[in-house]
Amino acid sequence: NAGVTQTPKFQVLKTGQSMTLQCAQDMNHNSMYWYRQDPGMGLRLIYYSASEGTTDKGEVPNGYNVSRLNKREFSLRLESAAPSQTSVYFCASSEADRSSGNTIYFGEGSWLTVV
């Protein structure tokens, strides 16, 4: 029962390098999200995709781009990594409806260090 799978789990980048975090969910959810989690800051929404073909900015989108490749996959790209992007990144998915609100299921996280 995979749920939300994200790769890689750990990555070290040099300042200015680019990379893509991959995420896939097998729950047939419409909505997918990318969050970052920093000490003392909690979870902050970077981008989300309410449905296939749509993406929207969250609280902290600067320095990131996303692609909703299909219903299952939602990738996060850092075009030119900066030390301020050192964080733990979580991909998540949900099936929002009025009967259940919005229960979000998270992946295991990707630890990214930019040096």
With b for 16 or more beta-carbon neighbours within 10 A and e for fewer, the 20-50 pattern comes to: ebebbbeeebebbbbbbeeeeeeeebbbbbe
Residue 1, Cβ density class (10 Å: 0-12 exposed, 13-18 middle, ≥19 buried): exposed
Task: Among 108, 113, 114, 115, indicate the residue that binds other proteins (CB under 8 A).
Answer: 108
Task: Among 14, 28, 42, 53, indicate the residue that binds other proteins (CB under 8 A).
Answer: 42
Tokens of 21: 């975090």
Question: Quick one: which segment of 11-19, 64-72, 77-85, 106-114 binds other proteins (CB under 8 A)?
Answer: 106-114
Tokens of 89: 């990144």
Question: Quick one: which segment of 20-28, 39-47, 60-68, 75-83 binds other proteins (CB under 8 A)?
Answer: 39-47
| 64 is a contact residue toward other proteins (CB under 8 A) | no
| 45 is a contact residue toward other proteins (CB under 8 A) | yes
Least gap, CB of 44 to other proteins (angstroms): 8
Pick the closest to residue 55 from 30, 85, 20 (CA basis).
30
List residues near other proteins by CB under 8 A: 4, 31, 40-43, 45, 48, 50, 58, 90, 92, 94, 96, 98, 100-109
